[in-house]
Structure 1
């Protein structure tokens, strides 16, 4: 997972009780932090690439965390910002951990317009914890490691989905090529959904915890018309795209989709947590060979007084 603009206002928190045994230091910009240094490890430097875990909290609310999911990978750049974790970042090495605190009052004093750009407010305290896992010399080393982490996490999530199915006595599911699981309730009739076909569906999406985050089956979410898309061209999340291929016209199914085949670290709704596995109830309304043509807009009458293209 990439992390852009990491060091804006503390991109990230909680450290264990052992934090209290360390004294706070302050950066030149005045940010309080605690450093838990390892004895050995490769030093961070501009041009290198870092793998780390990072977490940000405001009060008791987690804004972002990579712990228990995929680590963060990013290239190291020179330069720092005052009152920011970047002030200590280039002093760190593999195995080091940092806990930092930042008060929104300080940011607001420096830039009052920030209140219009963020949900934070005066009095809020942002706490950040991070741990440097690995420092790479090249982008290729970082890329390979990130891919290995991703593949391992995909396997873990599939195990989690299978455990959920077993615990809830959900049987007769079919595995898609990538690892989503589909319980076909009604296979439907010809034609069959397949790559390149245009399908329209009714659906309800919810988390494994039962939180419904979107649906066109009820008026709650403001859209009750069937949703249309072309299969196999990347218009839908991968698990959904693969799952619908098991159905024909009129088919119904329940899809159990690991987060890495859904929205992963960047869900589109606040009702979905990063790396949260999802369930979709789906009914196929229709299947066409291709997407219907879009209606053409009537042309505006030409203004003969307007400048014309040069012939």
Structure 2
């Protein structure tokens, strides 16, 4: 992937060059890398077969804009390229034809009819922010052209690397969160606090007399969720969408955050408790909006209403 600045300069350079049009109506400019510089390949001959072929997978960076130059999508914001299978063209001048004009390392600018793209490729109505009869401009940079088997192997490898990186970040963050939680416990004088093996702190405020829940049991839980600063985010007791009923889930099946699976298993039916969940056992480094920024430590005041043994 080009650095953002280099990518911007490339796109600016592309805009200064002449577009070409295929017999099917695809408007394009294609660039190949030579001696460290991108050079316009000029008009691509119809018999040129050096690009991606039907059945292959193209790994690429993609940005596209509407006719008013508004960016609708940019893969660089996802910090990883996307993979697109090359299929039979769905219409003349299609995006599939654009992919078949690119070899690994090539970049290109393509103008595709928006009406045809949505109707014949996406099978969806044209969105209101795209004018009927207009063109979408695609900026593509092909990184790899592979067989399906090669692409799947690469994807698996990339997934494993991402998991390792995420685990390393979580291990670092949980130490930071642990210190903050301990300080919170001290400042708020929480009593009888215990800690799960994974790192959730919990304090039983009202013991229950019913059974403990095991993995696979159906449980019903009332809860109030707050940040450590006391700001309430939601409560099952004040939720018209669920008619203020307790939240039900199967314990130990990953249906809830890991912190819940760990801490609820420590409680007996009828118990009330406070849970302090470090961010790696909640939503981690995901930014879920202004009320749930990345690495949020969460407090849950819960009541284990019912345990249905399985």
Q: Equivalent of 2:145, from 112, 135, 139?
A: 135
Say if 1:186 and 1:168 are closer, same or farther in 2 by CA, change over 3 A: closer
Say if 1:279 and 1:72 are closer, same or farther in 2 by CA, change over 3 A: farther
Q: Deviations over 1:8-44 (max 9, x none)?
A: xxxxxx951221222252444555444332459x842
Residue 78 (structure 1) aligns with: 88
Residue 256 (structure 1) aligns with: 279
C-alpha contact 1:56 1:65 (8 A) present in aligned 2 = no
Where 1:129 maps in the other structure, the secondary structure is strand
Higher relative contact order (CA closer than 8 Å, sequence separation 6+)? 1
Say if 1:33 and 1:195 are closer, same or farther in 2 by CA, change over 3 A: farther
Alignment of 1:37 with 2:32, yes or no, is yes
Unpaired stretches in structure 1, ≥5 consecutive residues? 1-13, 177-181, 207-211, 292-311
Where 1:16 maps in the other structure, the secondary structure is helix
Q: Equivalent of 1:25, from 15, 19, 32?
A: 19
Query: Whole-Å Cα distance in 2 between the matches of residues 168 and 16 of structure 1?
Result: 42
Q: Equivalent of 1:184, from 201, 210, 218?
A: 201
Residue 149 (structure 1) aligns with: 158
- Within-5 A mapping of 1:28-177: 28=22, 30=25, 32-38=27-33, 43-56=51-64, 63=73, 65=75, 67-101=77-111, 118-122=127-131, 126-139=136-149, 141-161=150-170, 166=176, 170-171=180-181, 176=198
Say if 1:84 and 1:195 are closer, same or farther in 2 by CA, change over 3 A: same
What TM-score do you get using the length of structure 2 for normalisation?
A: 0.58
Say if 1:285 and 1:70 are closer, same or farther in 2 by CA, change over 3 A: farther
- Within-5 A mapping of 1:262-277: none
Per residue, is there more helix in 1 or in 2?
2
Say if 1:109 and 1:242 are closer, same or farther in 2 by CA, change over 3 A: closer
What TM-score do you get using the length of structure 1 for normalisation?
A: 0.58
Query: Whole-Å Cα distance in 2 between the matches of residues 100 and 43 of structure 1?
Result: 15
Unpaired stretches in structure 2, ≥5 consecutive residues? 1-5, 36-49, 183-194
Could you tell me how far 1:66 is from its partner in structure 2?
5.7
Moved more, 78-87 or 116-125: 116-125
Q: Equivalent of 1:225, from 245, 251, 254?
A: 245
Larger Rg: 2
Where 1:170 maps in the other structure, the secondary structure is helix
Say if 1:60 and 1:110 are closer, same or farther in 2 by CA, change over 3 A: closer
Could you tell me how far 1:149 is from its partner in structure 2?
0.8
Query: Whole-Å Cα distance in 2 between the matches of residues 45 and 285 of structure 1?
Result: 59
C-alpha contact 2:11 2:139 (8 A) present in aligned 1 = no
Where 1:120 maps in the other structure, the secondary structure is coil
Number of aligned residue pairs: 254
Say if 1:143 and 1:231 are closer, same or farther in 2 by CA, change over 3 A: farther
C-alpha contact 2:279 2:285 (8 A) present in aligned 1 = no
Q: Equivalent of 1:215, from 234, 241, 255?
A: 234
